Each structure stands twice: as C-alpha cells, then as structure tokens.
C-alpha cells in the first residue's frame, strides 16, 4: 500500500459515525433525557460538541449531550456550579452506578464500558440555561462560576471552514485529534486543537495530507503558548485548560510530531515506503494501517 492509499484508508476509518454509532448515540441520548426528566425541568436537549461537528475521533467517547433547563431550575443560578453538577450526577449514578459517573469542570461524565455492544463508550452531560441568544453552563474553574457558550456557533464555523477547505478540514482535524489521543493527550482539551485548526489550516487544501499535517504540527508548536479564545467569543479562553508547564510539554510533543512527519516524508522520498508507513503509524497509532 502506498502512503497516499494509507492516508485515504486512515481518513475513512476515523470518519463520520456509522449507523450503529449514530443509533447508539441517539438511544443513549433518549435514555439519559428520560432519566433526567424525572428530576429536572428540561426544555430541550441535543447532541453537540465534536460529535455534532463531525470532528470526533474513534472509538467514540465523551459525546456531549446539552440539556437546556427550564424556569423551575433557575434557583441553581444562585448556587455554586457544583450544586447543579452534583445534582445531575446523583440522578445518573442511581442508574449507571457511582463508579461510572464523574463530575467534571462543566459536565457530568457517564461511562458505558468497552464492550462490543457499546458503539459509544461515554457521554458528557452538560446542564445549561438560555441566556439571550446563547447559553450559560456551570464552570467549576471559573471565578464567575458560569460560562457563556454557544455550540451552534462552533458548529457553524466548522461547517464554513470545511466548505472553504475542499471538504477536507474535518478529516484533518480528526487526524490531529487521533495523534493527540495516541500520544497521551498532550493537548487538553482536544477542542483546543480544533480551535487552532480553524486558523492554522489557511488558504486552500494543498492536496497532500502529509504536508498539511507537518505544517500544522509546526505552526501549533510555535503558537501553543498563546491564548486561544472561544470561537463564539463568549466564554473563557479554550486554552485555559492547560497551565504554562503543560503547554510547554505540549509544544515538545508537537515538535516531535513535526519531526516524525518530516522523517516519514523523507523516507518515502528515498523509496522506503514501508519505513515511512511505520513512522506514520507510530505517530497516529494503530488506527493508521500499514497494509
């Protein structure tokens, strides 16, 4: 298999959800909504985040369910963010077990394990309130305790970038996120990589995944220390999930990725296709096939 063929296979393997994944996500969304409806006034809910933007890596984990709360829950606005997140966690733990439920910065995580029957391994349930045209979600690390956000704006920006980048931008983002997962998640949250990709993949698609990725790793290493704002212009900077030492470590990882990509390109140029494929697999993990 040529390197170009390997990248096409890689892109397909980590592409949009299969029918089983989509139906599993829909089933779990309905199940969680019905469970929470017993204890909370929920006006509406929807799948969001990278799953909805089609930039999610596989296997599917941490699929976001956005739960918009009604007037009966406004009293939580006067309390700390942990009050609402803990209340959600208590309800979810009754069904899924405390060991499978965890309170996170802005959401409650629910794990379903890794069996073949489960196409989606976990969900992040995000309680939210309507605030004008946008939303506010609890934020345990914010001094304001609540963070404005708008996943619909995030989705719109991703859609526009995909259209302007020869329909290849989302595939490249999935590749970069797959690298991040395969290498111990040096960049957190993974959404930061997507935000950076909105700016760092510039102009038109160059037609070659190898050089596009090498260029991204180089630019990301140069700029990882910068502040990266919420694309919707509402909430805390996306880059505030890492401190300066964590960003420095991420820069080292990004530089190593750039060097690995360069070496793979050089090996291929010298006719050593097998060695080049080996390098790319080391970079992305076993989801990148050599044959």
How would DSSP label each residue in 55-107? ---SSB--EEEEEEE-GGGGGGGGS-HHHHHHHHHHHHHHHH-GGGEEE-SSS
pLDDT of residue 270: 97
Higher pLDDT, 61 or 220: 220
Q: Which whole number is the average pLDDT over 252-273?
A: 98
Mean pLDDT of the chain: 92
pLDDT of residue 18: 77
CA dihedral 9, 14, 18, 22 (to 10 degrees): -170
Domain boundary assignment for the chain: 3-15+153-284, 19-149
How far CA 77 is from CA of 72, 80, 85, 147, in Å, comes to: 11, 8, 12, 12
pLDDT of residue 62: 84
**Sign of torsion over alpha carbons 155, 52, 106, 223:** negative
- Is 120 a residue whose pLDDT tops 80? no
- Band (57; pLDDT cuts 50, 70, 90): confident
Of the candidates 256, 28, 285, the residue with the CA atom closest to the CA atom of residue 175: 285
Phi, psi for residue 282 in degrees, rounded to 5 = -60, -35
Of the candidates 231, 242, 238, 203, the residue with the CA atom closest to the CA atom of residue 219: 203
- Is 252 a residue whose pLDDT tops 90? yes
- What ranges in the chain are assigned the alpha helix state H? 3-13, 19-37, 49-53, 81-96, 151-164, 169-182, 190-200, 209-223, 244-269, 273-284
Which of 117-121, 152-156, 198-202, 270-274 is predicted least confidently? 117-121
pLDDT of residue 118: 54
pLDDT of residue 3: 96
- Is 47 a residue whose pLDDT tops 70? yes
- Band (114; pLDDT cuts 50, 70, 90): low
Does 19-149 carry CATH code 3.30.460.90? yes
Residue 2 is given by DSSP the state -
Phi, psi for residue 18 in degrees, rounded to 5 = -75, 175
pLDDT of residue 26: 86
Higher pLDDT, 168 or 80: 168
β 122-131/63-69 pair status: parallel
- Band (61; pLDDT cuts 50, 70, 90): confident
Q: Which whole number is the average pLDDT over 228-240?
A: 91
pLDDT of residue 117: 53
Other CB atoms within 10 Å distance of the CB of residue 80: 13
How far CA 276 is from CA of 58, 173, 174, 270, 288, in Å, comes to: 23, 21, 21, 10, 12
- Band (56; pLDDT cuts 50, 70, 90): confident
How far CA 133 is from CA of 55, 73, 81, 187, in Å, comes to: 24, 19, 21, 30
Which of 52-61, 162-171, 177-186, 190-199 is predicted least confidently? 52-61
pTM of the model: 0.89
Residue identified by tokens 């089983």 is: 20
pLDDT tens for each residue of 76-93: 999 989 999 999 999 999
């Amino acid at each position: 298999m040529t390197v170009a063929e390997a990248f096409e296979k890689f892109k397909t393997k980590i592409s949009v959800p299969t029918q089983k994944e989509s139906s599993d996500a829909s089933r779990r969304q309905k199940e969680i909504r019905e469970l929470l409806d017993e204890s909370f006034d929920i006006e509406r809910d929807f799948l969001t985040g990278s799953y909805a933007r089609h930039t999610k890596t596989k296997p599917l984990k941490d699929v976001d369910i956005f739960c918009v709360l009604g007037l009966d829950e406004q009293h939580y606005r006067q309390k700390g963010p942990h009050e609402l997140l803990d209340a959600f966690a208590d309800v979810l733990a009754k069904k899924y077990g405390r060991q499978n439920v965890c309170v996170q910065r802005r959401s409650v995580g629910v794990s379903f394990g890794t069996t073949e029957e489960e196409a989606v391994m976990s969900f992040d349930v995000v309680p939210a309130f309507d605030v004008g045209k946008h939303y506010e979600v609890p934020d345990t690390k914010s001094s304001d305790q609540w963070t404005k956000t708008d996943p619909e704006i995030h989705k719109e920006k991703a859609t526009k970038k995909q259209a302007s980048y020869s329909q290849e931008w989302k595939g490249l983002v999935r590749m970069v996120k797959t690298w991040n997962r395969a290498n111990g998640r040096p960049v957190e949250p993974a959404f930061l990589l997507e935000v950076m990709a909105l700016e760092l993949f510039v102009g038109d698609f160059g037609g070659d995944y190898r050089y596009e990725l090498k260029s991204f790793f180089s630019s990301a290493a140069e700029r990882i220390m910068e502040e990266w704002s919420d694309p919707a212009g509402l909430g805390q900077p996306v880059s505030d999930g890492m401190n300066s030492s964590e960003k420095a470590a991420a820069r080292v990882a990004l530089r190593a990725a750039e060097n690995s990509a360069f070496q793979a390109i050089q090996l291929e140029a010298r006719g050593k296709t097998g060695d080049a494929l080996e390098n790319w697999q080391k970079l992305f993990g076993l989801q990148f096939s050599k044959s």
